[in-house]
Chains A and B, each alone.
Chain A
Amino acid sequence: MREKSISENDIQIPMKIFKLVFKNAFRHKLRTLLTILGIAIAVIAFGLLRTVVTAWSAGVEASAADRLITRHAVSFIFPLPYYYRDKISQLPAVNEVTYANWFGGVYIDKNQFFPRLAVDVTTFLHVYPEYLLSKGEVADFKRERNACVLGKAIADQYDLKIGALMTLEGDIYPGQWEFVVRGIYQPKFSTTDASQMLFHWDYLNERIKRESPVRANEVGWYIVKIDNPDNSANISQRIDALFKNSPAETKTETEGAFQQGFLSSSSAIITAINVMSFVIVGIIMLVLANTMIMSARERTREYAVFKALGFSAGHLTGLILGESLFISMLGGGFGLAMVFPLVKGFEQAVPKGFFPVFQVEPITLILAVSAVILIGVAAAVFPIQRALTTKIVEGFRFVG
């Protein structure tokens, strides 16, 4: 019955070690389940917070490098004269110029928020090719003065179909405004905002001319499509130079910088959320480390037995690291599975349009999985070090 050939490469050992890892992990069921639950909650919180952060900066992500935004130099809320359009268009390297006004207004009630923009229908969709409409929808949109197009997310939320009538109560531009839905655009990219309402600037301007002539022929901002993103700084300077010392000086910047400007006011909050998401990872690392330290301490004698029987440092490392990774991955997997429905629920709970794009980004998943693995490895370091450095005879004397 004697067998002399010893091999640590036997494929059966890892399988047996995994079996032992599984059994060890559930030796204290309540403790393990609470740890798994803790990791799952941490991963959910991490996923949710990271999704908020990415959603917050989705506008920047969605920005095109070849689009510049020209606005009033003092503030975004001050309008620019309509005639600036022609001057900007004449600059070399400018491919197309379009414009938009922030309409505001109330649809149904004040809680129903989504961006409503008066746009130049002839040029806007050229400059924003990521809003996908059929040729028929584009034609219908252009033909009718009070036509509007909606992002798919808004159309779905309010169950608005082609031909539906929408009545908005104006605030910036007072009065009742009636629109007919002539198109529902699909977002081309996952980061494209599908929660906007676009309608004819002419429709707005004609009524303003009648009701408040001093506010007529005003544009909220210009969107300038340029031929080469590398020239953006130069073209921006040239645009702003055109209106230097005029009553409405301009500030031109890339679309990304323009979006970033909106975020800067809330950058402290975003930073805090970002930091908090990683603090959560740190806390749960300590929770798992505590569980693993307790488990390893309780098994000091058993590790001494394994060593006495001839099991190597690699085997013990596999046993402890395996258990730590098993628990962290179980918790992480459960947490990640719960992130998607919870993010969906969160998205529905906040007003539509608050986060135009609210979805779990691949980078969030990558970070969460990396964090789970990191937690599993880090939590095992101290127990492994202790198990390997404790002498066999000391292990046998250990009373836990």
Chain B
Amino acid sequence: MNSLIRIKELSKSYWRESLEIPVLKNINLNIAEREFVALMGPSGSGKTTLLNMIAGIDKPTRGEVTINGMDITRLGESELAKWRANNIGFVFQFYNLIPVLTAFENVELPLLLTRLSRTERRKHVETALSIVGLEDRIHHYPKQLSGGQEQRVAIARAIVTDPLILVADEPTGDLDRQSADGVLNLMDRLNSEFGKTILIVTHDPHAAERAKFMHHLDKGDLIKSDTRRE
């Protein structure tokens, strides 16, 4: 199978004065289209940093991140911003919704960067919200929603532009078990039904079980890869 994501000899270090602190060490990883991948590891293992590089919001010290044939490490900031708008959907642990915007307006945000008309945007937003089961909450503000609902709005915002890849950093980290299951079921469905390539970072083995592949990191090294389910 062709790889959608190719990571080659990827390293990332931070510098504290003259001391180099490696976060990722020479990572090589291929991820195919339509995969559901979990990145696991203890705190400080580098899993979020790896996810950020794949999502194009952080740059490596060395190595390549090729997505759909394009080495995104070579892109400038504005090119990268456009690339992200076209290709990546983000889901965060703390939802990161804009509190002064309604669910509809939050989901509409990424579409403002497209040429879609107002009517088309409305249609897209309503579709995304109906996929996450919140079509009856479109005029609610984040503070009027539960944590699980907020995360589902965040997922709707992530999928509304139909991105190539959905990246989720601890998407269930701030949710109770029931809400977490709801979010994981939704991601499962996005992967199996809509064919989205999904990468999640999680501590939670229960969440990681939903992924088809699990990659374990420790102290910046990719130490193990498992196939969890078919």
Residue of A nearest to B93 (CB): A396
A271-302 CB contacts (< 8 Å) to partner B: 301-302
Tell me which residues from 70 to 127 in chain B have a Cβ below 8 Å from any Cβ of chain A.
77-78, 81-82, 84-86, 88, 90, 92, 94, 96, 98-101, 108-116, 118, 124, 127
Instruction: Check A5/B115 contact, CB under 8 A, given A310-B81, A312-B81, A396-B92.
Output: yes
A28: min CB distance to chain B, Å: 11
Q: Which residues of chain A in 357-400 are interfacial with respect to chain B, using CB atoms and an 8 Å cutoff?
A: 391-393, 396
B191 at the interface (CB under 8 A from A): no
Contact of B161 with A by CB under 8 A: yes
* Cβ of A234 under 8 Å from chain B: no
Taken together as a complex, chains A and B put the C-alpha atoms of A17 and B82 apart, in Å, by 18
**B162 touches A (CB below 8 Å):** yes
- The answer on a CB contact under 8 Å between A391 and B58 is yes
State the Cβ distance, B100 to closest chain A Cβ, in Å: 4
Q: Is B52 in the interface zone, CB < 8 Å from A?
A: yes
**Of the residues B52, B84, B115, contact of A310 by C-beta under 8 Å:** B84
Which residues of the other chain, A, contact B94 by a CB distance below 8 angstroms?
301
Nearest-neighbour CB distance to chain B for A314, whole angstroms, equals 9
A135 within 8 A of B: no
Interface pair A308/B113, CB less than 8 Å apart = no
Is B57 an interface position by the 8 A CB rule?
yes
Most buried by A among B78, B113, B118: B113
For residue A20, CB closer than 8 A to chain B, the reply is yes
Assess the A23–B101 pair: CB atoms within 8 A.
Answer: yes
Instruction: Give the CA-CA distance A302 to B109 in the complex, in Å.
Output: 12
Which residue of the partner chain, among B81, B84, B162, contacts A3 with CB atoms under 8 Å?
Answer: B162
Q: Which residue of A lies closest to B58 (CB)?
A: A393
Is B115 in contact with A308, judged by CB distance below 8 angstroms?
A: no
Shortest Cβ distance from residue A90 to the other chain B in the assembled complex, whole angstroms: 81
With a cutoff of 8 Å between Cβ atoms, the chain B residues found around residue A305 in the complex are 90, 92, 96, 98
Asked whether A1 lies within 8 Å of B127 as measured between CB atoms, the reply is yes
Query: In this complex, what residue of A is CB-closest to B106?
Result: A305
* B90 pairs with A309, CB closer than 8 A: yes
Which residue among A20, A310, A311, A391 has the maximum number of chain B CB atoms within 10 Å of its CB? A310
A311→B101 contact, CB < 8 A: no
Residue A24 is within 8 A (CB to CB) of chain B in the complex? yes
Q: Least Cβ distance of A371 to chain B in Å?
A: 29
> A12 with B58: in contact, given A309-B84, A312-B81 (CB under 8 Å)?
no
Within 8 Å of chain B (Cβ to Cβ): is A266? Answer: no
Q: Is the interface of B mostly helix, strand, loop or mixed?
A: helix
Is B162 within 8 A of A392, CB to CB?
no
Residues of A within 8 A of B99 (CB): 27
Residues of B within 8 A of A5 (CB): 114-115
Q: Given that A2-B162, A5-B114 are contacting pairs, would A20 and B86 also be in contact in the complex, using a CB cutoff of 8 Å?
A: no
User: A6–B112 contact, CB under 8 A?
Assistant: no
Are B100's CB and A10's CB within 8 A? no
> Which residues from A are CB-within-8-Å of B124?
1, 3
Alpha-carbon gap, A4 to B77, bound state (A): 19
- Chain B: which residue is nearest A397 at the CB level? B48
Q: Is the CB of A10 within 8 A of B115?
A: yes
User: Which listed residue (B57, B101, B108) contacts A392, Cβ 8 A?
Assistant: B57
Inter-subunit contact B100/A309 (CB<8 Å): no
- Within the complex, the shortest CB–CB distance from A211 to chain B, in Å, comes to 81
Residues of A within 8 A of B77 (CB): 313
**Is there contact, CB below 8 Å, between B90 and A308?**
yes
In the complex, chain B residues 22-62 whose Cβ is within 8 Å of any chain A Cβ: 49, 52, 55, 57-58
Residues on B with C-beta less than 8 A from A313 are 77-78
Q: Is the CB of A312 within 8 A of B115?
A: no
Contact A13 B81 (CB under 8 A): no
Whether A310 lies near B92 (C-beta < 8 A) is no
Given contacts A12-B118, A309-B109, A392-B58, contact A6 B85 (CB under 8 A): yes
Give the CA-CA distance A20 to B112 in the complex, in Å: 12
CB distance A308 to B100 under 8 Å? no
Cα distance, A305 to B154, chains bound together (Å)? 11
Q: Is A308 a contact of B116 with CB atoms below 8 Å?
A: no
**Residues of chain B within 8 A of A27, CB atoms compared:** 99-100
- A residues 1-44 near B (Cβ < 8 Å) are 1-8, 10, 12-13, 16, 20, 23-24, 27
Question: What per-residue 1/0 map shows which CB atoms of A199-235 lie under 8 Å from chain B?
Answer: 0000000000000000000000000000000000000
Q: Which of A5, A20, A304, A392 has the most CB of B within 10 A?
A: A392
Q: Are B162 and A310 in contact (CB under 8 A)?
A: no
Compute how far the CA of A27 lies from the CA of B77 in the bound complex, rounded to whole angstroms: 30
A310 near B96 with CB under 8 A, answer no
Docked Cα-Cα span, A309 to B86, in Å, equals 9
- Given the interface contacts A23-B101, A310-B81, A310-B82, does A6 sit within 8 Å of B113 by beta carbon? yes
Q: In the A-B complex, list the 5 residue pairs whose CB atoms are closest, starting with the nearest.
A: A310-B85, A23-B100, A2-B162, A392-B57, A1-B162
11 intermolecular pairs with C-beta atoms under 8 Å apart: A1-B127, A3-B116, A305-B96, A306-B109, A308-B84, A309-B90, A309-B157, A310-B86, A313-B77, A313-B78, A393-B49
